[in-house]
Amino acid sequence: MRTRFGHYETRTVPRIAIIIDPRFKKDGFESPYNAEQAAKALEREHHSIIKKSPMEKSTPPMEPTPPVEHGPSKEFSFLDSKLKAKINSPRADAVILLRQHLETQNEPETCDPLKYWKTRADIYESLQQVALKYLCVPGTSCESERCFSKAGQKVSDRRTRLKPGVVDNIMFINKNQDIFS
């Protein structure tokens, strides 16, 4: 397994797909260095999605304001001023959400990652967008190659005048013949 699939840990897309998968996270890597690089790549991707989100574009950063005194209760006025002076940072938000994701316990092996992210859309909306982008990539191109090969067999030199719709129907029946039997 190491010799055949080990090099995938060094590529960005598989790295992000592994670390965003709730079953594996950082534990899915053979090398701790590759896990750290995956976390950095996911942070960059997550930050870019947060920056592009409409909420971030529409709300300009808050400017620091002087403390406002609230009548008789002055004990916590410093807290009000700190909260009003707090500036939202997409980078900090990305780091916090990513850390929360990585520190939660891994899901069991039977968990469906896409269903997991669908149920957590309200908490990790931007991480869900990253997950949908990277987890929906097919692991192999074998099925599409089989389909092209089968189409090449059906449309031969003797059947060159078949219309595309007829070829589509023949391919559909061929691929679903187990249902019809």
pLDDT above 60 for 7: yes
Q: Which of 32-36, 65-69, 89-93, 94-98 has the highest mean pLDDT?
A: 32-36
- Each residue's pLDDT tens digit, 78-126: 777 777 776 677 778 788 888 999 999 999 999 999 899 999 888 888 8
Distance CA 145, CA 38 (A): 30
pLDDT for position 66: 53
- Do residues 99 and 72 touch, judged by C-beta distance below 8 A? no
pLDDT for position 73: 59
pTM of the model: 0.58
Those residues whose C-beta lies under 8 Å from the C-beta of residue 13, and which sit 6 or more positions away, are 134, 137
Q: 3-state DSSP call for residue 62?
A: coil
Average pLDDT over residues 45-70: 60
Single-letter amino acid, residue 90: P
Give the chain's mean pLDDT: 80
- Each residue's pLDDT tens digit, 130-159: 998 888 766 667 777 888 888 888 888 788
Higher pLDDT residue, 57 or 30?
30
pLDDT for position 138: 64
Distance CA 119, CA 146 (A): 34
